[in-house]
Amino acid sequence: MRSRYLNQLTTPYLFGAVTDQVERHPNPVNLGVGDVSLPLPSCIVEQLQEQAALFGTETGFKGYGPEHGLSSLREKIAKTFYPMLSADEIFISDGAKTDIGRLQFLFDPSITIALQNPTYPTYKEAAILSGKTSFIDLPTLPSNNFFPQDLPKADLYIICSPHNPTGHALTRAQLQHLIDTARQHKSFILFDAAYASFIQDPNLVKTPYELEGAEEVVIEINSFSKLIGFTGLRLSWTVVPKKLHFRDGQSVHRDWSRLVSTYYNGTSRLTQAAGHAALSQEGLQAIHQYMQIYRQQAQSLKQALSPYFDKIYGAEHAPYLWIAASPSYFERMGIITIKGEGFGSHGQGFVRLSALGSSYTIQEAIRRCSQFANLSLT
Ligand code: MLT
């Protein structure tokens, strides 16, 4: 018998529909799905080649790795991003999306989940597929500075910051309020920080663990995808602090370790070696350059579009622009965007543009917009 939950999924999946749209268009400019375009830095390519060559030798060949990830990479991630945590609180995986799905199995179907609206569609779909039925909206709108002050009681808050699709990064005060609320209710926060590397403002935090009490309530998901262009390689990590406990006192860390062992035989050793190279000194420099380039692209796009739209959000701490506009405005120019309601009902009246395309794509989008505006004036 087919799973009853499958009927509740939107068909097709949001990003699949956008990819189809790009393929059907004769001359598209793709600002739709947020896929990276810059090639991998040479230190990563060299590491991949070296490791692949070792696999072809009797002494260098290796089979299964530890299902929780190579301890050297777990240590490197802890040291680079989470000096307050230990390496065994970091779990390596093959993509944030994969873990967003698997993490649902930690929680009973009876729980109530609070979700930003609009938000990345996988959170709710993964919850539905694991039998969850009770959801609360957290309206995420310009009028509430993209975060509701009155947080409802929930068992699990699924939060993305910097936020996909609006680009808003939670302020320290907003994040602390969220953490305090979760502590008060003995709830958890699933915190997707996939865009944290775009944050430049020193007043903002890159990880909730910098704030008081976060280790008691936050599971963080993060990834090399947007950090350094691993959307094709696939490498991510999930942080599960040992201080996290369910209401009955059971350890979340122990349960997650156990659950991963059932579902996973570990991320490719080659990809993990590439992750190591990404966090070397040369890799970190490349990350810095990547971020500068994408931020610059987001800013150029925002600047070029600002004469035509009153309300453009984002582009500061994330590679997305969130514009109060109709998708048809862009469709007429062959510019592919994602309609706001694809991310939830409160996204209606908005479109999301990704600035992660190549510099040619961004320049061509800017050229078409200005050409179209000039034509409309004549
Ligand atoms: C997006 O376009 O929102 C994402 O990059 C796609 C994804 O991560 O699945």
Contacts 24+ apart (CB under 8 A), 135-143: 136/112, 137/344, 137/345, 137/346, 138/114, 139/346, 140/116, 140/166, 140/168, 140/346, 141/346, 142/311, 142/313
Inform me whether the pLDDT recorded for 328 exceeds 70. yes
Give 136's contacts (C-beta < 8 A, 6+ positions apart). Answer: 112, 113, 114, 115, 152, 154
Inform me whether the pLDDT recorded for 170 exceeds 70. yes
Residues 138 and 210 in one domain: yes
**Going by CA atoms, what residue is nearest to atom 4 of ligand 1?**
34
Ligand 1 center from residue 15 Cα (angstroms) = 7
Whole-angstrom distance, CA of residue 112 vs CA of residue 155: 5
CATH of the domain at 60: 3.40.640.10
Whole-angstrom distance, CA of residue 90 vs CA of residue 241: 8
The pLDDT tens digits for 178-233 are: 999 999 999 999 999 999 999 999 999 999 999 999 999 999 999 999 999 999 99
175-193 burial, b at 16+ Cβ within 10 Å, e below that, comes to bbbbbebbeebebbbbbbb
Last residue of a domain, one of 225, 251, 278: 278
- For residue 193 the two structure tokens come to 């920080």
Q: What is the pLDDT of residue 11?
A: 78
Q: Domain limits at 52?
A: 43-278
Residues 176 and 273 in one domain: yes
Residues 134 and 269 in one domain: yes
Residues 35 and 47 in one domain: no
Q: Which whole number is the average pLDDT over 331-345?
A: 95
Quote the distance between the C-alpha of residue 203 and its chain's center. Answer: 21
Whole-angstrom distance, CA of residue 121 vs CA of residue 127: 10
Q: How confident is the model at residue 18 (pLDDT cuts 50, 70, 90)?
A: confident
Please choose from 14, 19, 31, 120 the residue to mutate so as to test ligand 1's pocket, defined by most ligand atoms within 8 A of CB. Answer: 120
Would you say residue 313 lies in a domain? yes
Inform me whether the pLDDT recorded for 375 exceeds 80. no
Q: How confident is the model at residue 377 (pLDDT cuts 50, 70, 90)?
A: low
Q: What is the pLDDT of residue 293?
A: 98
Query: Is residue 262 packed enough to be buried (19+ CB in 10 Å), middle (13-18) or exposed (0-12)?
Result: exposed
Q: Please state the domain count of the chain.
A: 2
The verdict on the CB of residue 33 being under 6 Å from ligand 1 is yes
Q: What is the pLDDT of residue 72?
A: 98
Q: What is the pLDDT of residue 19?
A: 86
The verdict on the CB of residue 319 being under 6 Å from ligand 1 is no
Whole-angstrom distance, CA of residue 259 vs CA of residue 188: 18
Inform me whether the pLDDT recorded for 10 exceeds 70. yes
Whole-angstrom distance, CA of residue 169 vs CA of residue 107: 27
Residues 248 and 297 in one domain: no
**Rounded (10°) angle between helices 122-129 and 96-103:** 40
The pLDDT tens digits for 110-155 are: 999 999 999 999 999 999 999 999 999 999 999 999 999 999 999 9
> Which atom of ligand 1 is found nearest the CA of 356?
5
Residues 97 and 144 in one domain: yes
> Which atom of ligand 1 is found nearest the CA of 33?
2
Whole-angstrom distance, CA of residue 336 vs CA of residue 364: 12
Ligand 1 center from residue 377 Cα (angstroms) = 35
Residues 64 and 156 in one domain: yes
Q: Which whole number is the average pLDDT over 48-73?
A: 96
The verdict on the CB of residue 283 being under 6 Å from ligand 1 is no
Give 186's contacts (C-beta < 8 A, 6+ positions apart). Answer: 247
> Which atom of ligand 1 is found nearest the CA of 225?
8
In sequence order, the β-bridge partners of residue 220 are 191, 239
